[in-house]
Amino acid sequence: MTAQLMTGTDLAKDSLDRSARRTRDLLRETGVRPCLATVLVGEDLGSVTYVAMKRNRCATAGIDSRHVPLPVATTTAELVATVRALSDDPSVHGILLQHPVPAHIDERAAFEAIDPAKDVDGVTMWSFAAMAFGHLGFASCTPGGIMRLLDAYGVDPAGRRAVVVGRSPILGKPMGMLLLARDATVTYCHSKTVDLPAIVATVDIVVAAVGRPRFIKGRDIKPGAVVIDAGYNPGNVGDVDFEGAMERASLLTPVPGGVGPMTIAVLLEQTVDAAVRHAASVAASR
């Protein structure tokens, strides 16, 4: 068996085109152009590159982007104040705080300063709760992108056993909630799980989001399973043993080119959603 690759590149392009059309329609009908504010603390090369990529995608879709660079010595209080000011700015519809932030900053406090109506990256506790309970809100972008990939490749999670390897509040935990909402039977695992290979061998869907290169071994994957590699490690290496997984899985995401493009696509979709909701709210208040 050789796995079919689940590439996100074309799917993300289609999403970008839809976001561009929706942006043009919104501007024509209401005069409102979606605006995404990006906040970056420090000059980590990877983060700088990633923010630049997101801003370039915004420009392609006709979405305004406002970049707020802050020095690495920024305090938690200063970052929170910056984020709150953007939350209070009616011309800003979405806020992205690039993570991780420097170790001396309370990242959760900074996330919680984001107005939930502008939390287009889906990082606040409010967004997580809304997603878990099926209420209107914004999904964490990478899990949201993974669900779109599953749909595009005809993978219905209903009734299937799934394992999410990773428990971060913006990837692993929301991923499990989204799968559960689609009627999958979900197991959470992590780097300290005892006998992880035995668990991986029993499931139909594997989502690797643990942040360790080649942590999931190909030999442990159930034949015919769907494998989503949400990891990205130095050297363009994911959390899954790619070569080994190719021989066992039915569907497999490459790294790069799989999950990554979908993360940005969802970010832009949700920025447009936020602008549409804002415009509707303003119109209703008149």
Q: Which of 64, 98, 119, 204 is catalytic?
A: 98
Residue at 191 is within a domain: yes
Encoding tokens for residue 176? 């499990």
53 and 108 fall within a common domain: yes
Q: Is pLDDT above 90 for 193?
A: yes
Q: Which of 54, 118, 173, 222 is catalytic?
A: 54
Residue carrying the six token digits 């690797």: 208
Burial of 176 from C-beta contacts in 10 A (0-12 / 13-18 / 19+) = buried
User: For 196-225, what is the mean pLDDT?
Assistant: 97
164 and 249 fall within a common domain: yes
Alpha carbon distances (Å) from 154 to 147, 158, 168, 254: 11, 12, 27, 17
Confirm whether 121 is a catalytic residue.
yes
Q: What count of other Cβ atoms lies within 10 Å of the Cβ of residue 245? A: 25
Confirm whether 118 is a catalytic residue.
no
Q: Is pLDDT above 90 for 264?
A: yes
Q: What global pTM score does this model have?
A: 0.95
Q: Which of 64, 115, 119, 121 is catalytic?
A: 121
153 and 107 fall within a common domain: no
Residue at 227 is within a domain: yes
What percent of the chain lies above the pLDDT cut of 90? 92
Residue 265, phi then psi, degrees to nearest 5? -60, -45
The domain boundary, picked from 67, 100, 116, lies at 116
The pLDDT, as a whole number, for residue 1 is 72
Residue carrying the six token digits 């428990």: 167
The pLDDT, as a whole number, for residue 46 is 83
Residue at 135 is within a domain: no
Q: Is pLDDT above 90 for 7?
A: yes
51 and 159 fall within a common domain: no
The pLDDT, as a whole number, for residue 112 is 98
Number of domains in the chain: 2
165 and 237 fall within a common domain: yes
90 and 196 fall within a common domain: no
pLDDT digits (tens, 9 = 90+) for 224-245: 999 999 998 888 899 999 999 9
What distance in Å separates the CA atoms of residue 143 and residue 146, rounded to the nearest whole number? 5
42 and 100 fall within a common domain: yes
Residue at 241 is within a domain: yes
Which pLDDT band, with edges at 50, 70 and 90, does 82 fall under?
very high
The pLDDT, as a whole number, for residue 216 is 97
Residue at 106 is within a domain: yes
Sheet holding 4-5, edge to edge: 4-5, 251-252, 226-229, 205-208, 161-165, 185-189
102 and 198 fall within a common domain: no
CATH number of residue 106's parent domain: 3.40.50.10860
171 and 105 fall within a common domain: no
pLDDT digits (tens, 9 = 90+) for 35-53: 999 999 998 888 888 899 9
The domain boundary, picked from 116, 132, 161, lies at 116
CATH number of residue 204's parent domain: 3.40.50.720
What distance in Å separates the CA atoms of residue 186 and residue 193, rounded to the nearest whole number? 15
Contact criterion met (CB below 8 Å) for 193 and 216: no
245 and 155 fall within a common domain: yes
Which pLDDT band, with edges at 50, 70 and 90, does 268 fall under?
very high
Encoding tokens for residue 260? 């990554």
Residue at 3 is within a domain: no
Q: Whole domain around residue 221: which residue ranges?
A: 141-259
157 and 244 fall within a common domain: yes
Confirm whether 270 is a catalytic residue.
no
- Mean of per-residue pLDDT scores for the chain: 96
Residue at 22 is within a domain: no
93 and 148 fall within a common domain: no
Which pLDDT band, with edges at 50, 70 and 90, does 277 fall under?
very high
Residue at 148 is within a domain: yes
